Each structure stands twice: as structure tokens, then as C-alpha cells.
Structure 1
Amino acid sequence: MLAPRPWRTDRTADGMGDSVSDGVVTGDDTGRGDVPSDEAAAESLARELAVEQAHVDRVHAELRKAGERARLVEIEGMSRGRTDRTGDIRDEEVSGLFARDALVFRAGQRRHDLERQHEGLVFGRLDMEDSHGREVRYVGRLGVRDDDYEPLVIDWRAPAASPFYRATPVDPQSVLRRRVLRSRGETVIGAEDDLMVADAPDDLVVLGEGALMAALGRSRSAHMRDIVATIQADQDEAIRAPARGVTEITGGPGTGKTVVALHRAAYLLYSDRRRFEGGGVLVVGPSAAYTAYIERVLPSLGEDSVALRALGDVVDACTAGRLDPPSAAAVKGSLRIRRVLARAARDTIPGAPDTLRAMVSGRAVRLERRRLDRVRSQVLRRHHRNSSQDAMVLALAADAWTQARRPEDRDVDREEFIATFVDHRDVEAFMHAWWRPVDPREVLLWLADARRARRCSRGVLTEAEADVLAASLQATLDTGTWSVADVALVDDLDARLGEVKEMPVERGFFEIEELDELEAQRSLRVGVPERNAPAHSALTPTRHLTHGDARDVLLRGHVGRPSEYAHVLVDEAQDVFPMQWRMLARRGRWASWTVVGDLAQASWEDLDEAEKAREEAFGSAPRRAFHMATNYRNAKEVFAYAEKVVREHVPDADIPAAVRETGVDPVDVTVPADSLDATVRTHVAELADEVDGSIAIIAPARWAASMADLVAAAEDIAPGLGARLVLVDPLSSKGLEYDATVVLDPDEIVAESPGGVRVLYVVLTRAAHRMHVLRPED
């Protein structure tokens, strides 16, 4: 996530440049330095931190004043538009109400932004020198000015802050020293410096061992840290690239692609707020675990106008976290399934009558399956199914007239017959059973019937594939949960069927209580708490729900028109199925894109098909690419192990260069399966002593239950371990990182994963410092 600083002047006291002692470097006019004593170094460090603390205190004081000003503006706004008159309001009063709402909204938004800026508000300082003299600039999460409108902090996205990220000793951009400040709350607790000139001025003190390596050594927490303070020049170039078109960010594991992309989203919102805040930014990740991991990055940068979605949450009223077996995922993800869905969308409702019988204007009408199918085919050439009811009944009426008319019936008027047919109660009842509007989720569930799935798949899927499709959708019905791959199919069907327009129904108290009980039952039945559903999904069932009915749970809510966004960011793009690319394309027809990925980590096997679907989603928009070549996450020893594994199967894998060494090789042992639990406990306890941060057990489904019990008893292994130890499945580990990992049964991970060795490669690159690989032996 950070780039190396090969130009660091951490030179020893050998007479060749600056001297270093206890994190303090001092320069002199000869380019040599005297090594200060430990006491002198500590005093120098304390003085520098005191200077920075004084500035940070001043900034927070101004921040509180700004918050008070925003509060007063809110009060003023609320006072506008008030009137003692009753009855009709005047035009000027309408204008007052509008001004009031605008003032209150903007002031409230500003006050909210100010109140949350405490942790690391000021994170950087630039000491600059040019022909006009010396200048100090402080860089932070948002801009702050004093009463004279002089800048105390420059917003990191502003052009004036760009030297903080782009300056190098080769191109210093007038920067003498770049300092990264570390804070806890409003207290400065440390500083790290990078020197940009060969000879430091006499009065310039250089602290620490460099911001980059200090950041690399810190422990991982449950939430990804934003690294705005230590973004490097090549990454900053990608962040500030033009908004238009498609920006692709590639690189191997640990190269910081995700953080660069998220900071790019924040930068775009800052640089063209009208466009991107008004049109919206959609950030899509592979899983709910991933989105929970990164959800604090953008808000911590001052941007909360971003829709953050896992692939299973992109469609309203569908929240999915369950993964299909590889065979089912391969069928559902391929573009071939579109022909199957097209046939299903045109099919009749299960159990619908296959004959229409009615007595119309004294004539017996009987339309059997063949005639009904012909009329249905004709109407669907020109209409979406859910908007075809009027056209369908008129077409049936015309066909009924052709059947019922006799040559001698010259006195029977065609228009009168058709009008009578359309309003006939028997026809209305038939239409409700045979051709009512249908929910796209309902149509997908029809394919849980193996016979229907085979019929709709004939000539497209093999019979075995059709059975796999039906079995996977039956599993959806059995569990009451959608799979992640199901969601893209629902989206495709929604586009084919058209929107279901329904009148709002007022819910009764007893029905609302029933919905609450049903939701509680769903959580218990699935075995996991309800995840973060999209905030805009509505709980408006289309029909009466009954307890214990998983089908009703699946059809909860309403699938509305997809939202379209001004910018779409797709992370772990190598794992997006072709059908999922089509789903994303519907939300980004007029959008610019940021796409992040690494083909060596792909879990989708047919990369050519995925590439075709992706290019169709982007259209003719211009492309630009940025490549990240340095692995900042993994220690060299950990990454060397992972590289050896992937090279055997993916010889052209994009392998970045790791920049840290720990001197500790990964542990790789074979253990008896019957003593696996005890062995895992021993290894977890060992890692708990070696690292201070997070530890993950990454285990395939075969061992999930026993490992869940072990994690639940983490406090018995080591005090405080409960907050640090997690269990994660291989696919959900994508995009995540930990201080240490226990990788369980790598052969089984390969066997159960759709990407095989590529997924194992992902698993082996999650650890920053330590990794233990355990191989059960039966």
C-alpha cells in the first residue's frame, strides 16, 4: 500500500552525510553530522514534537470555532422563511423556505465534517524553500483557515498539497523535508521525516527512520487504515489521473491497489464535487467481509457520499453472502446463462392453466396451449413481459374473435366482442393466473424445478449443467438465502421483464409484527446475523408472508430500477464473473471507471469471456493504466513462499518485489488429522506471542465448524486473543490482510475453490509478518 523510499538518508556516522542516533538526524554546513547523545536526541525529539503539538492544538481550536460558526448558520437558516400568516404562502415566502433548507443542509453537513475530524486531522508537514524564501505547509484531511483566512492546514487533495506525495530527491519540487505526523486523538505521538536534499540546512532536524517503513511495520487492525499520509509518487499519479474514461490499476498482492483506488474516489469527489457527488460514486468489492474492512477509509478522508457494496448487495432487495460450489458458479457466471434466462422470462407461471375457456357475447371461446403460446410469442416481440398485460389480453381477444366468428354472424360487431372479452371476469381470472406481472427473483426460482431448468437450457447447457443449476437454486430455496452469483441473474431478469408497478399498500400492525418475527427467524435459520443491507432497499413485500416460508423471505422487498452512477470503482476485478460485469454495466452506462485487479489471483477460470464482458461494460471510453510493482504488505519470506506456489501453475504471474524482511521463514508442517485442533491451538498461541495485531485462521469448508469452535474459545488460548483472532474462508480473504495467518489444508483449498491454485495464492499472501501452513494427514 506504500511505495519504497530508496533515497532515505539514513547514513551512519562514517563521515558520509547525516548522522543518525535514536531516530534524530542533524545536518551541518559540511554535510557531516555529529552523533548526539541519547539525552540530546531525546531532547531534540521532544522539542520537535512540542512544536508540532502547538500547531495541532491551534488547528483544533480553529476547528471548534468553525463548528460553532456552522451551528450559528444552522440557527440562522432555521429562522428564515418563518411567517405568522395562515393560508396561501407568497412567492417570497417560498424562496425563504428554500434558502432556509439550503442553509441548514450545508451548515449541518459542514458541522458533521468538522466534528468527526479528530484522529490524524493534521498528518503532514512540508518545509519548502525557493527563491522567495522558506515556507511551511501543513497537510491534512480537510482544509482549515484562521480568522485572517490564512491556511493552517491544506486539504490533501488540493494542488498545493501534491508535493507531499510527489516530491523526490531527484525532483524535490522545492521541498527540503517531508514530515509525517502520527496522532492519537488530538495528541501528536510521533513523527517520521524524509529528507529531499543532499545537505540539510543547519536548523533542520530530521526524525525517525522514514515514514514508509514505520507504516509498514505497524499491526493490522479490523479496518483498513487510510494511508493518505504515506502515499508515494507513482501512487499519487494514479490517484490524480483524469476522471474521464477507464483507469485501470494493476499489480500483485500487497501493492496497495485498493487503497490507491479508494483515495482516487475521494480525490474525484473533491476535484469535481458537482459531478461526482450529484451523480454518485459506487464502490464494489468481492464480499461483505471486504466492505466491512474498508468501510472506514473513505469517511476518514472526509467523503461519505459513496455507495459501498459487495457484489452480493448490488441489486436492491437482494442481499447475498453465500457462495455456490464451483460447478454452479461456473454455470451461473457464464454469459451462456443469458439464453436460459431469456427463455425463463418468456415462460408461463408454474401451475398456470393451459386453456382459456369463456362464453363471450354468446360465443364459446376455447384457446388451447398452442394458440396461447403463439399469441405469447407475438406479444413478447414488442413488449417487456411486465408491461405486456394490456397488449396480451387484446391479442388474445383478437385471436378469440378469429376462432369464434362464423360467416353468418354479420350482426356481431368485432369491437363489441373484443370489449366484452377484455372485461370478462373469466378472462380476468385467467390472465391473473396465466400472465400476471412477475418478480425477477420469482422467475429465477422457477428454475429450481429440474424439468423446467432442462427445458430452458436445451441446446445451451448440458443436461448435467442444467441439473447443477436446478440444484443450486433449490439450495437457495432450502436456505432462504441468495448466493452471490444469483444476484447478477436477478438483475438480468429484471432488465428483461421490466419493472413491476404496484400500488403502495398500507400495512397493519399485526402484519408489521409478523415481518419482524420473520426477520428474526431468518437470522436464526441461516445461522448468521443480517448483514448490512443497502440503506435504500425497502421492506415492502409484494404479498402476504407466512412463518417459516423461505420463499417469502427470498421475495421480500421490491427490485426497482437500478441506480446509475457518475463513477464506478471495482476492486478485485479479476474475480468478477461475466454476468456480474453486465450487472455493473447497467449502473455505469455514463460513468467513468476505476478498475483494480491482478489476473494471477483470479477465481474465474475463463478470463477471455470475462475480458469480453468487461470491455462491453466500458464501451468506447478511453483507457489508461497504472501498474504497482512493489509489495508492501508481505515480508519477503512470506511472499517468497507464495511466489513459489503460484509460479508452478501460473508462470506469467505478475510478481511484485517485497520490501521488508523479518528473518523468519513460514512454517510448513504435516500433522495427523485427528490431532489437528490441538495443533492449531499450539500454532495460534505461538503466533500470539510473536505479533501484536490480528491473526487469521484461513480454512476450507471441511474444517470450518471445528475452527469456529476454536476461535470462540480464543481467550482460553491467550488473554486478549479473542479480539485478535478471526476465522475466514479462502474466497472471503480476498482484499484482507493480517499480521499473521494459519493456513489450513492448502490442498483442500485448491480442490474446493473455483480458481484452484490462484485462490491458494491469495490465501498465502494475506500475512504481513508470520505465516504457518498446516497440512492434515489422514
Structure 2
Amino acid sequence: MSTPVDDPLARERSHLSASRSALRAMREGVEALDISDVTANWVNAEALAHQIEERIKALADLSGTPLFFGRLDYLHAPGAEAAEGAEGERFYIGRRHVHDHDGDPMVIDWRAPVSQPFYRASKKDPMDVALRRRFGYTRGDITAYEDEHLSDPAEAARTSKLLQQEIERPRVGPMRDIVATIQPEQDEIVRSGLSGTVCVQGGPGTGKTAVGLHRVAYLLYAHRERLARTGTLVIGPNRSFLHYIEQVLPALGELAVQQATVDDLVAHVEIKGTDDATAAVVKGDARLAQVLRSALYSHVTMPTEPVVVVRGSRRWRIPAYELEELVRELLDRDIRYGAAREALPQRIAHAVLVQMERSGEAPDDRVQDAVARNSAVKAAVKAVWPAVDPAKLVLRLLSDAEFLAVHADGILDGDEQKAILWAKPARSVKSAKWSPADAVLIDEATDLIQRTHSLGHVVLDEAQDLSPMQYRAVGRRCSTGSATVLGDLAQGTTPWATRSWQEALTHLGKQDALVEELTAGFRVPTDVITYASRLLPHIAPGLTPVVSIRENPGHFEVRPVSGSKDVVDACRESLRHEGSTGLIAADARVPDLAAALTEAGIPYLGPGEETTEDTRLTLVPASLAKGLEYDYVVLDEPQAVVDGEPDERTGLRRLYVTLTRAVSGLIVTHAAGLPPQLASATLH
């Protein structure tokens, strides 16, 4: 059946159908590949089979996910000189490249250079685009389109209704990509180069997490071969957060990016204990790196005896002073402890070979290797530069007051040393009750001994909550690569939360990083972000408040209640709307609210669990709310959220986080009084 010439929507639907058929043909072509006679051995065959399997996955046509979301009609062919009568080209912009059987593009990857004007072209700078078309979808089918004639001076600039609808669409399930709604200031960050590190300061709902993930997708597109060798990693604050974002990159066709928490990176020992805030702050201080270095290199002692190597009937003697020179040379080179220890026997063996040559012998490299393995040389190295286990080193520092005092002298004061010493010293690494901060110290010690493998690119989200030692742990993973650092200083809720991005980037080893600030809010409604921003003068005075660009002001209400039953009723009201609902409460109040929901017969999920049409309510402890979002939020007892933290400033920051999780509406319920900082009518 032919498509009506005068029906643009029908033509676009026809192109969508043809594009899906072309994508299916691409996938079937890969599935039909016969590699039985291609490779020389089973190892290569396994590797090729894996690559084919990954390619098939990347070509999946995801149900409900539009294959393309926009169209660009150029005035001229991209790259060609403008000429009168020259006919421009048309490109459909989507999540992945699709071509027909002749190799002609049906859909252009959003990351391709030719797609960039879809995000950056404007009436002021049309970038040779005559028309930009956006598509509206319902359950995977095109149901609407909207045109902007960028090169027509007679058409006034206007806000895209479809763009607003996409931004305000209800959130059900995990985080989704934003390729259809990337804004110019976001696109500039997304397409920044691989060699540079970018730090994005962004308030709630500014899209910083999505920008970071899309930057990874872009870098993998632009530098695929390099990053395939060096690797990429996304680091999040907790498992719930990682589960929430885990579908974004696969939806963009990127399946090989690893995800982890900082605790995962430093999992050298089993975590059995916790630290109080004082101990955690001291252990997270960058000065501990100096203490560890001093403690490690205290194991190196200067030789007092010569080394005598016996080979056949000859004895070769290296005097103690010459050995000392070799040791001092290695110390001066400032290489890793383990690398220097491995180099020392070769240095001693070379000194023996010099003596052999002076006596008329002609030894080769095999002789030097044999001398380096000589028992006398091994014994000397063991005595002078012994092997050190990083966990045992940290164990001794935390258990032995005298050892700690020697190596913390002039670095930590007496109270700080006392704060990190264990009350009950452990007898072994296995029996020790290691805390998360201890594991970071072990990671530091491990790197002092042997260099940590560096990746090509690392994304660090919710970075404001890391300690200086945690920043160092992440920095080791991208010492020869780059990073995307994402966070909001106003949402720092740990006792060691960073005070400035420059300080954080210095600990990360990326002092020259570009710092960008996002202030346009795409997620949080105007009334909600305005209310939450009353806290900014008290928690982050220097930050610019987020300005919501959403047309829908959202639902907002502060509601006095008498008990848990009223909170449950507020949840019922929210569940009448389309989308997800989060009930957020101070951690200590979660059990009572869970019991009240169960008694009322309302099913609920825990943070990170995927919502469904039948179960759309999530009960969220305030400590796990960061990074999550829900269409509607019921925030229980704000003062209890503040009181649940060790100090008021941290409590107000936690409250700021919980107030800004809503996408469409927020009901604040309280039986006790509200924090006085929320009573302010205007920002200072």
C-alpha cells in the first residue's frame, strides 16, 4: 500500500518501519556469519564469537524505545560549499546507526558530527539547518511531530512542546537516556574531548548524571579502539544507584562499560566493622598517605655486610658501601616499593658482572640473571628491602601505638592518632574488623608497592561525598586517562564531604580539570526546587540556585499530620497519579512506616528495585535517596531527617537531597515542627 504524498506523519511512520526492517536485516546478517574457517585457533575463535555476540546485542531493537527521535534537513550537503540551488541532505537522528542493504544511512547515530546541530542549532546560529523535526511517540509508534524552521527569518523562536513533554514524562522503572532532550550546554560537556577531565557541578535535576553517562557513550563512539584497550568505568555511591542507572548505556548500544562503587574498587579485605565519624574523617585525610609511605619505607635498611657471590671456583665480593649506594639510588628514583625491590637484585648482579669483566671474563645477560637469583643476593635483598604485605602494614599502624607515633610524628597530632587506633588490636588480617576507610588505606599501601592499573576513562558520580583518600583511590584508576567528575557541593552528606571542587580535583590528581556548572533544572518542578533552595544559604552559600525550566509547576504541599496513617493516606493520593511514588523518611522511621504500609495493604519496594505498574511505591531511607528520582514523593518528617545526621549542617544537606527527588509532585508531611531554615520566605 502506497503512502499518501500529502501525509507527512504517514511518511515518517513508513520510514520508521523501513528503518526497523533494516536494523533487523543488519542483526540477521551478523547472526548468519560463519566463522568456522576464519580463525587459526580456538582462542581467536572464542574472542571473535564473543565480539559477534556483543554486536548482536548492540543491534537489538528495544521495544518501546524509539529508533529515531529527530530529523535534520540541511540547506546544503554537510561539508560542501554553499551554492545556489544546491540540494541539502536529510538525516534521521537516533540512538544508533542503521543502514539499508546498499549501505545508505537510514538513521544516524546521535554522536556523529552530522547530528550535532540537532542539539546546538538555533535561530541565531542555524548551522546550515533548514528544518529540525522532533517526533512524539506513544508505545513505540510515531504519533506526532513538531518542526522548527531555523533558517526562516519569518518564523519566531519558540519552546518545543514535544521537548517539554519528553522532559516531563512520568518516570517508571530505571533511569532512561536523554538523547532526545540534550540541551546545548549539556551537549558541549558530552562532546568534550577524551584527553581532558571535566568536573560538572549541578544542582538537583540538572541532568549531571545523564550528561556523564552520555559523555561515556560519546567517547566510546569517538575513541572506540583506544577505550577498548584501556577500559571505561562508572563509579556510583551505592548498589541501589548503580542498579538505577544500569540500563542507560545499554539503551545507547554500549555494553562493555563496567560499574562499581568505591568500596568495590578497594575490596582487598572483608569489611566487618565501622568507624565513628571522628576516626573516619582522620582515616580519610590525605595526610594518611604520608604516614603510610613513611611506615612502608621504614622497612628498607642500609646494608652493613658485603654480598659474596660464589660461581665455580671464583668468589665475587660487593662491599657494603657499594650496596648502600645501589639502595640509595633506588630510593632517590622514587619508584614503587615493589618495583625497586625487584630491581635491586639486578643492580647487585650488574655490579658483580662489572667485576667479572674487569677480571677478563665476558659474561652475558644469562649470567646476570643467574647471579640475580643467587642465594646470597636473595638473602641480601630480603634483609635490606623485604617484601611488605599492604594489609599487614595497615594492621600494624592501627594496632601498634608506638609504630603509628613514629610515622605520624609531625603529620597527625596525638588526638588524631588516638582516634584511629583500634581499642582491641587484631592478631591477623583475617580476624581484623576492617572498616571501609581501612580498605582505602590498604589500597593506598598497595599502590605504594605496585602501581594500580589505569583505565582510559572514569566517570565518578556523587563525587562530593568522597574523602581525600577515596579521591586518591579513584585517581589511581585514571592516572594515565581522563575522568568525568559529577556532583553537587550542596548535597555533600558525609562528615568528610569536599568543600570545593578544586580541592577534590587536586586529591584526584586532575588539578587542571575544567569545572562546568549546570543551573537549568529539567527534573524538579519550580515550586519544589524553590522551596528546597531555601536551604542553600545554610549549606552552600556560594552556589547558584537551580532554575526549573519545566512549564508544569508541579504539585507541592506542606501538610501537618497526626501520625503514620496520615502519611499512608498521602501515599495513596500520590499513587492515584501516573508514575512512581517514593516515600522518603529518616532511616530510624522506616520500620514504623513499613509496618503502616503493610497494615494498609499497600505493596512497596526497596531502593534500587524496579517499579512496575502493580507496585509503584518505593520506601526509601533518607540515607539512600541520593541520585534517585520519583514522579511523586511523600517526604515524612523533615526535622527527623535533619536529626538523623551527626550535625545540623550535614542534616540540612540530607534534607535538601530528600526534598529534590520529586519529578511531578511533593507532599511534605510533619507532626513535629519544620526546621526553621525552611521557614525563610526568600533566599538570602
* TM-score normalized with structure 2 length: 0.73
Q: Partner residue of 1:635?
A: 525
Q: Is residue 676 of structure 2 the alignment partner of residue 723 of structure 1? A: no
For residues 273 and 7 of structure 2, the distance between their equivalents in structure 1, rounded to whole angstroms, comes to 55
Cα pair 1:565 1:588 within 8 Å, conserved? yes
Q: Is residue 249 of structure 2 the alignment partner of residue 294 of structure 1? A: no
Amino acid at match of 2:629: E
Cα pair 1:576 1:610 within 8 Å, conserved? no
Cα pair 2:603 2:617 within 8 Å, conserved? no
Q: Is residue 144 of structure 2 the alignment partner of residue 188 of structure 1? A: no
For residues 604 and 503 of structure 2, the distance between their equivalents in structure 1, rounded to whole angstroms, comes to 50
For residues 773 and 473 of structure 1, the distance between their equivalents in structure 2, rounded to whole angstroms, comes to 45
Q: Partner residue of 1:360?
A: none
Q: Partner residue of 1:770?
A: 665
Cα pair 2:235 2:460 within 8 Å, conserved? yes
Amino acid at match of 1:125: G
Q: Partner residue of 2:209?
A: 258
For residues 229 and 420 of structure 1, the distance between their equivalents in structure 2, rounded to whole angstroms, comes to 69
The secondary structure found in structure 2 opposite 1:64 is helix
Within-5 A mapping of 1:216-365 = 216-317=167-268, 325-342=276-293
Q: Partner residue of 1:138?
A: 92
Amino acid at match of 2:234: V
Q: Partner residue of 1:175?
A: 130
For residues 272 and 520 of structure 2, the distance between their equivalents in structure 1, rounded to whole angstroms, comes to 32
- Selected match of 1:488 from 424, 440, 459: 440
For residues 38 and 151 of structure 2, the distance between their equivalents in structure 1, rounded to whole angstroms, comes to 60
Cα pair 1:252 1:598 within 8 Å, conserved? yes
Change (3 A) 1:55 1:766: same
Q: Partner residue of 2:682?
A: none
Amino acid at match of 1:70: V
- Cα deviation 1:479-518 (Å, max 9, x = unaligned): 998654344222112123x36xxxxxxxxxxxxxxxxxxx
Change (3 A) 1:471 1:182: farther
Within-5 A mapping of 1:32-431 = 48-73=8-33, 75=34, 77-81=35-39, 94=40, 104-115=49-60, 117-130=62-75, 131-133=85-87, 135-172=89-126, 173-182=128-137, 184=139, 187-197=140-150, 210-317=161-268, 325-342=276-293, 384=337
Displacement of 1:437 after TM fit? Answer: 6.0
Displacement of 1:776 after TM fit? Answer: 4.9
Cα pair 2:131 2:151 within 8 Å, conserved? no
- Cα deviation 1:692-731 (Å, max 9, x = unaligned): 2222233333223334445666743799887222233334
Change (3 A) 1:639 1:134: same
Q: Is residue 505 of structure 2 the alignment partner of residue 614 of structure 1? A: yes
Q: Partner residue of 1:693?
A: 579
Displacement of 1:144 after TM fit? Answer: 1.2
- Cα deviation 1:521-569 (Å, max 9, x = unaligned): xxxxxxxxxxxxxxxxxxxxxxxxxxxxxxxxxxxxxxxx633111122
Within-5 A mapping of 1:575-654 = 575-603=465-493, 607=498, 611-612=502-503, 614-615=505-506, 617-619=508-510, 623-654=513-544
The secondary structure found in structure 1 opposite 2:180 is helix
The secondary structure found in structure 1 opposite 2:582 is strand
Amino acid at match of 2:543: A
Q: Partner residue of 1:512?
A: none
Displacement of 1:255 after TM fit? Answer: 0.9
Cα pair 2:201 2:486 within 8 Å, conserved? yes
Amino acid at match of 1:78: S
- Cα deviation 1:367-395 (Å, max 9, x = unaligned): xxxxxxxxxx9999798489969999xxx
Displacement of 1:266 after TM fit? Answer: 0.6
Change (3 A) 1:441 1:49: farther
Change (3 A) 1:566 1:446: same
For residues 634 and 107 of structure 1, the distance between their equivalents in structure 2, rounded to whole angstroms, comes to 42
Q: Is residue 656 of structure 2 the alignment partner of residue 761 of structure 1? A: yes
Change (3 A) 1:118 1:200: farther
Change (3 A) 1:419 1:659: closer
RMSD after superposition = 4.4
Amino acid at match of 1:757: L
Displacement of 1:768 after TM fit? Answer: 1.4
For residues 160 and 591 of structure 2, the distance between their equivalents in structure 1, rounded to whole angstroms, comes to 44
For residues 132 and 571 of structure 2, the distance between their equivalents in structure 1, rounded to whole angstroms, comes to 42
Change (3 A) 1:443 1:338: same
Q: Partner residue of 1:574?
A: 464
For residues 420 and 446 of structure 1, the distance between their equivalents in structure 2, rounded to whole angstroms, comes to 29
Cα pair 1:567 1:588 within 8 Å, conserved? yes
* TM-score normalized with structure 1 length: 0.65
For residues 649 and 565 of structure 1, the distance between their equivalents in structure 2, rounded to whole angstroms, comes to 34
For residues 670 and 614 of structure 1, the distance between their equivalents in structure 2, rounded to whole angstroms, comes to 43
For residues 55 and 322 of structure 1, the distance between their equivalents in structure 2, rounded to whole angstroms, comes to 59
Change (3 A) 1:384 1:692: same
- Cα deviation 1:419-442 (Å, max 9, x = unaligned): 89999xxxx9xx9xxx99665345
Change (3 A) 1:311 1:688: same
Amino acid at match of 2:37: S
Q: Partner residue of 1:440?
A: 390
The secondary structure found in structure 2 opposite 1:727 is strand
Amino acid at match of 1:771: L
